[in-house]
Amino acid sequence: MIDTTASRAAGNGLAARAYGLLLRPEASVVVVSVALVIYFEIANQNFLTNANIQTISQFVAAPVIIACGEIMLLICREIDLSVGQVFALAPFLMENVHDVGVPVPLAIVAALLVCALIGLTIGLITIRLGIPSFITTLGMLFLITGLTLTISRGYPANTDGGPILTGIMGVWGYSEIVWALAIVAIMHIVLRHTRWGLHTTAVGGNIVAAAEAGIAINRIKIANFVLTSTLGGLCGLLEAFRVGSIDPLAGGSNIMFLGVASGVIGGTAIAGGAGTIIGGLVGGIMLGVLQDGFTLLGINAFTFDIVIGAAILIAMAANIHLARLRVGGAR
């Protein structure tokens, strides 16, 4: 009556559990990351120093924060291509609000509210007009770039704020990764332990079934667009404070694709219905370790992109294959 895959997965034996765990995409990415760390430490003794770990953490933080939003969107079969542009816009919003006399903390909140509004707009256009989010956010990508260049007149600016605020927001070396880990922890709970998360998975897995059960599909999707834009804005603010200056061409499609890649390497299904926040974290760590390791080894930037591209392709291919193994030939 029960097919073999089901009974195997349900087996109480420790071996069965270990087998199931190893098939999880997060586990394989962790194994690869640890192997990479060992390799880089042997190849270059400076890899596991405090200074370098701090650098890695800065490589990792931004893609992971972006990934937290994109993973939620990918799970419910949407995507936001414009999150990297919101990333660039947010610091300028903050500076403009601050320039008219609003204190920096309030200016940060105002900037994030505008980012949330952008997410709401993306969501409403996508849902109400029935346009695929790929197209909606492709349009928004150009629109927001133009907006940022107009507001900034194309010039970089400096961040303001006292030492404590700027410290918390990114000047202290580890603050960005602390933000990233806190967001990961919260979003993990949201995805696994709230109706919002469960219904996001249901909408992506079987939209007809979700509608049949009475789930408010549009509200779930719009909430995830708002979340992603807001996280993109927050991430842009953190980076701006860390660097101390605001660049109208910061972030962009590069940071967006790193976020999406982190999620997908960590096992989030591009076709929706499955994914984990922890996977996004380990995917981001793997990309950060690669990026930093190759930089330390002095590998040419052009070669580096080839290696990263290949690593992403291999990781995605491996995950699709592992997903097949997990479900087995049950159907």
Partner 1 sequence: MSEAGAEAIRAENIVKTFGTVTALNGVSMRVARGETLGILGDNGAGKSTLIKILTGFHQPDRGQVYVDGRPVSLGSVDEARGFGIECVYQDLALVNGLSIYHNMFLNREPLWGGPLKLLDHKTMRRRAREALDEIGVNIPSVELQVGQLSGGQRQAIAVARAVSSNNARILLLDEPLAAMGAREARLIIDLIDRLKARGDIAIVMIAHNYAQTLEICDRVMLIQHGEVTFESHAASTSAEELLDIVRREYRAARAG
Residues that bind partner 1 (CB under 8 A): 1-3, 5-7, 9-10, 189, 193-195, 198-199, 201-202, 204-206, 208-210, 212-215, 273-274, 327-328, 330-331
Which of 10, 34 has the CB closer to partner 1? 10
The distance of closest approach from Cβ of residue 330 to partner 1 in the complex, given in angstroms and rounded to an integer, is: 5
From the list 328, 330, 324, 316, the residue with the least C-alpha distance to 28 is: 316
The distance of closest approach from Cβ of residue 321 to partner 1 in the complex, given in angstroms and rounded to an integer, is: 17
Q: Are 21 and 14 in contact (CB under 8 A)?
A: no
Q: Are 242 and 136 in contact (CB under 8 A)?
A: no
The distance of closest approach from Cβ of residue 150 to partner 1 in the complex, given in angstroms and rounded to an integer, is: 41
The distance of closest approach from Cβ of residue 15 to partner 1 in the complex, given in angstroms and rounded to an integer, is: 17
- Residue 211 has a CB neighbour count (10 Å cut-off) of 13
Q: Which amino acid makes up residue 39?
A: Y
Which of 297, 330 has the CB closer to partner 1? 330
Which of 12, 300 has the CB closer to partner 1? 12
Which of 103, 193 has the CB closer to partner 1? 193
Q: Are 210 and 203 in contact (CB under 8 A)?
A: yes
Q: Are 68 and 60 in contact (CB under 8 A)?
A: no
Which of 185, 209 has the CB closer to partner 1? 209
The distance of closest approach from Cβ of residue 181 to partner 1 in the complex, given in angstroms and rounded to an integer, is: 19
As separate numbers, helices (DSSP H) first and strands (DSSP E) second, the chain gives: 15, 2
The distance of closest approach from Cβ of residue 118 to partner 1 in the complex, given in angstroms and rounded to an integer, is: 27
Contacts by 50-56, CB closer than 8 A, 24 or more apart: 52/292, 52/296, 54/173, 54/174, 55/292, 56/288, 56/289, 56/292
Which of 3, 99 has the CB closer to partner 1? 3
Which of 13, 298 has the CB closer to partner 1? 13
Q: How far apart are CA 111 and CA 76, in angstroms?
A: 26
The angle that helices 83-99 and 50-75 make with each other, rounded to 10 degrees, is: 110
> CA angle, corner 45, sides to 41 and 51, nearest 5?
95
Q: How far apart are CA 220 and CA 114, in angstroms?
A: 20
The distance of closest approach from Cβ of residue 219 to partner 1 in the complex, given in angstroms and rounded to an integer, is: 12
